[in-house]
Amino acid sequence: MKKNLLFTLLGSLCLFFACKEDDLREAGHEHGKTETKQVTFREFLNSEGHRSEVQKIRKYFHGTHPGISNKGRDSLNWEIDTAGITQIITPEVTTYTFRVIEYDTISGFRNVVIREYQDETKAFLVHYPDGVDYENKTEANVIVEQLESPLFRAAECYVLRYQCLQCGMTMCNVEPGWVLIRSTCSDSGGGGGGYNPDPDPYDPGWPTDPGNSPWNENGGGGSGNGSSATPCDKLRQKSIDQVFKQKINFLKVKVNEHPHEWGWENYNPNEMYPTPGNGTNKYNTSAEGTAMTYEVREWGQHVTGYAHSHPDRPEVMGVHSTEDIYQFAAMVKRRYQGVPPGGGQFEVNSTYGIVVGTHGVYAIKITNLDNFVNSYIFSDRAEWDKFWLDFEENYNRKKPVGNENNNQKNNEISILKTLQYYYSTIGITLFRASDDLSKWDQLSLNEAGTDVVKTPCN
């Protein structure tokens, strides 16, 4: 029975990285051209995020929120590291190799590999139980299992070998690199048994040592937006913009003298699509108006922020409303998914949403773009609408009851509790400026959630 099971498992390997000689003869592919490069998580999502197999494994990506994914229902002791992705492209196969963040101690290390072959995408958890000897390039055992397989599939075993392989049908040389050779599994579940000497040219990417992971170096997912400037840096840059300060002070006056909301948008004409304009830092003064509730009027990938007033009325909070936070999130999404006229990527970290009210000047900023992207990209419109409905209901439950309780401390605590609860989904943090706009503090709650903690932007 055990012997038959092994034959069954080996037979099923043809479904995994199959190298059938007849198929290769018909296709006439050249195996010798290989391109290896590092890609960002944003580049990966822009290229592959729409694929159903990628959607299925979204719960494994670092920072994904249980309210959006099914991760909260799993007893998952690992996540996919979204930093430092290795892409390997051959004429037949494209693979993406991700490091794995382990929350339990395991032998060796693991990678997740997403593999495309003949327009079919599959995801695999690849375990190197004895590690990999990168210096001497000795053989290593490998255990592979398919993630989110529609049918129960037992783990499959391979031997990792560094070589220049030939397929055997023609002289289709492949550049030197790591390849997998099918192997029988030992009773303990690992490799090391007898193996088939025919290498499999459709290997699942080259091993990526988690010791070199940016996640392990800085202890977190980071912003992932390609910018070394922090949200504090960006706010300080705005504070030395004299036009910005003038417009914020204009809104301060409107808080006390006008019952309606006034506001404007900040944009970069050079980033306008399809025809760039002149200048880099403009303010949409035509948006200043007398609407009871301010709404963003200038939309597009070129818009970097907004600011508006909350008038001094008993029922109006002096901090951001749900709609204010939603409009900010929409701005971040447009900049993240947009493409500058000259190509490349937008600098997302500069995006801001500011409210000027009776308590002062508040800004919301993305402080973890990975959290935002993992949730937003992997959510359809219905799912995202449901999230914002939940967000609004949660925020409303935390708002102070009665005009007599509508004060600065209570308002700050209510928005901070809401942003903290949903931080792993949208990665948004609240900041407050000094009266002269020269300094900013990042706001958070104490451990008990009863008081506001200020962390200066040094």
Amino acid (1-letter code) at residue 38: Q
CA distance 413 to 424: 18
Q: Does residue 74 surpass a pLDDT of 60?
A: no
Please report the pLDDT score of residue 176 as a whole number: 60
Least-confidence region, from 15-24, 43-52, 180-189, 280-289: 15-24
Asked if pLDDT for residue 25 goes beyond 70, the answer is no
Q: Which amino acid is at 227?
A: S
Give 245-261 pLDDT, tens digit per residue. Answer: 999 999 999 998 878 88
Q: pTM of the predicted model, to two decimals?
A: 0.64
pLDDT value, residue 228: 56
Residue 289, phi-psi category: left (phi > 0), alpha (psi -120 to 50), beta (remainder): beta
Helix, strand, coil shares, percent, the chain, to 5: 30, 25, 45
At 312, the amino acid letter reads: D
> Number of C-alpha atoms within 13 angstroms, CB side, residue 163?
18
Confidence of residue 200 (pLDDT cuts 50, 70, 90): very low
**pLDDT at res. 297:** 82
Q: DSSP characters for 81-144?
A: --SSEEEEE-SSEEEEEEEEEESS--SSEEEEEEEEETTEEEEEEEEETT---TTT---EEEEE
- Mean pLDDT score, 176-202: 55
Q: Which residue has the higher pLDDT, 106 or 344?
A: 106
Question: Is the confidence at residue 454, as pLDDT, over 80?
Answer: yes
- Tens digit of each residue's pLDDT (9 = 90 or more) over 368-398: 888 888 787 777 788 888 999 999 999 999 9
What are 401-433's pLDDT values in tens digits?
A: 777 788 899 999 999 999 999 998 899 999 999
Q: Mean pLDDT in the chain? A: 76
- Res 286: pLDDT: 65
342 burial level (CB within 10 Å; 0-12, 13-18, 19+): exposed
Q: Is 452 helix (H, G, I), strand (E, B) or coil?
A: strand
pLDDT: which is higher, 361 or 204:
361
